[in-house]
Amino acid sequence: MNKVIIGVDLGGTNVKTAMVSWDKQVLAKDSRPTNAEGGPEAVMDAIESSVRDLLSQSDLGTEHVMAVGIGAPGPMDWRSGIVFSPPNLPGWENVPLGALMEKRLDVPCYVENDANVACYGEFWLGAGQGTQNMALLTLGTGVGGGLVIFGMLLRGEDGTAAELGHLKMQRDGRKCGCGSHGCLETYASVTGMVRTAVEGLSEGRESILRGQCDDSFNGLTGRMISDAAQQGDSFARWVIEETATWIGLGISSIINYQNPEKVVLCGGMIAAGDMLLDPIRTVAFENSFKVPAERCEIVLAGLGSDSGVLGAAGCALSRFEGGQ
């Protein structure tokens, strides 16, 4: 039989794995807790057991695996497979994840930035199939990005390219975790959306959200805002429109930067649906040049939450075969 490829999506909460055939068929999937609180060894145990279970369900062993691709949170070095110290993986400090997993599984293991593999997944099997020039934005707790240019994943000279959440959108704007101010992430992430809501409520704006959190507005979540907006709360709708405006302005920069065929959106935020997507499109196209705006489609991820795990497999296949 032809060998299979395994993709791993290492998140702070869950480890997802998928087994993919050389001709892009998804053969099996698994998901289990990351056990992040247990530190690197516990997390690698979870990855290893997930991979082995996936294989044994199909009566396969690691000798049937061509390569394993692991999408991991940054900062990290994709060439060496070393994961530095991701905020959501406590106790990790320069862990040679690629080498250690290779030792455990006796299979070539390739480590990649998680947003990059999500982008590659959409390019390989999802909404970006057939394009040569696309961008992906992950709209979650933070804002991540991935880029395919000339049909190749753009990692940049040090693997740090496509940090689209850190485009500067506002001089002296909101303080960002990266040390700068006014980054897209501070407005366009779920965290940024909650911050917009808290600012509005602090200024005395009326909303049903007031009844759902304490006087300091602790406990407010993106989901609450989204639900309130669905129920017609005008303040919550304004918060979503504000967030969409920032995302749209960020996308207009992407359109003017690389004249892409598609911008693909994924992450928890997109659950808000057309209420978010419609104003994103309007703002993005109004603020870009006409020709590239007419070219670019802004679409939701085609693989749902599987962009990362499938993209990790795709990246591993590409690198195993000597591609970039």
Give the integer Cα–Cα distance in Å for 260 and 258.
5
Residue 322 found at the interface with a copy of itself (CB under 8 A): no
CB of residue 226 to a copy of itself, shortest distance in Å: 22
Of the candidates 135, 129, 128, the one whose C-alpha atom is nearest the C-alpha of residue 154 is 135
Part of the chain binding a copy of itself (CB under 8 A), chosen from 7-15, 28-36, 97-105, 162-170: 162-170
Which member of 140, 142, 159, 308 binds a copy of itself (CB under 8 A)? Answer: 159
Residue 286 found at the interface with a copy of itself (CB under 8 A): yes
Residue 288 found at the interface with a copy of itself (CB under 8 A): yes
Residue 168 found at the interface with a copy of itself (CB under 8 A): yes
Residue 28 CA, distance from chain mean position:
22
Residue 161 found at the interface with a copy of itself (CB under 8 A): yes
- The 3-state secondary structure of 57-86 reads HCCCCHHHEEEEEEEECCCEECCCCEECCC
SS3 of 15, please?
A: strand
Which member of 258, 266, 306, 316 binds a copy of itself (CB under 8 A)? Answer: 258
What part of residues 221-250 is at the interface with a copy of itself (CB under 8 A)?
245-246, 249-250
What part of residues 73-132 is at the interface with a copy of itself (CB under 8 A)?
75
Rg over CA atoms, the chain: 20
CB of residue 142 to a copy of itself, shortest distance in Å: 13
CB of residue 264 to a copy of itself, shortest distance in Å: 15
Token readout for 35 is 């056990």
Beta strands at 297-300 and 262-266: parallel, antiparallel or unpaired: parallel
SS3 of 95, please?
A: strand
* Sheet bearing 26-33, strands edge to edge: 26-33, 14-21, 4-10, 65-72, 109-113
**Number of residues near a copy of itself (by CB under 8 A):** 46
Residue 261 found at the interface with a copy of itself (CB under 8 A): yes
- With tokens 């455990």, the residue in question is 104
Part of the chain binding a copy of itself (CB under 8 A), chosen from 15-23, 102-110, 151-159, 206-214: 151-159
- 283 contacts 245 by C-beta, under 8 angstroms: yes
**Which of 42, 161 has the CB closer to a copy of itself?**
161
* Pattern 292-311, a copy of itself, x by CB under 8 A: x--x----------------
Give the integer Cα–Cα distance in Å for 175 and 152.
33
Part of the chain binding a copy of itself (CB under 8 A), chosen from 14-22, 171-179, 217-225, 311-319: 171-179
Part of the chain binding a copy of itself (CB under 8 A), chosen from 18-26, 36-44, 112-120, 156-164: 156-164
Token readout for 279 is 């104003």
- 76 contacts 113 by C-beta, under 8 angstroms: yes
Residue 232 CA, distance from chain mean position:
29
Residue 21 found at the interface with a copy of itself (CB under 8 A): no
145 phi-psi bin (left φ>0, alpha ψ -120 to 50, beta other): beta
* Pattern 197-216, a copy of itself, x by CB under 8 A: --------------------
Question: Residue numbers of the site for a copy of itself (CB under 8 A)?
Answer: 75, 133, 147, 149-150, 152, 154-164, 166-171, 178-181, 245-246, 249-250, 252-253, 256-261, 286-289, 291-292, 295
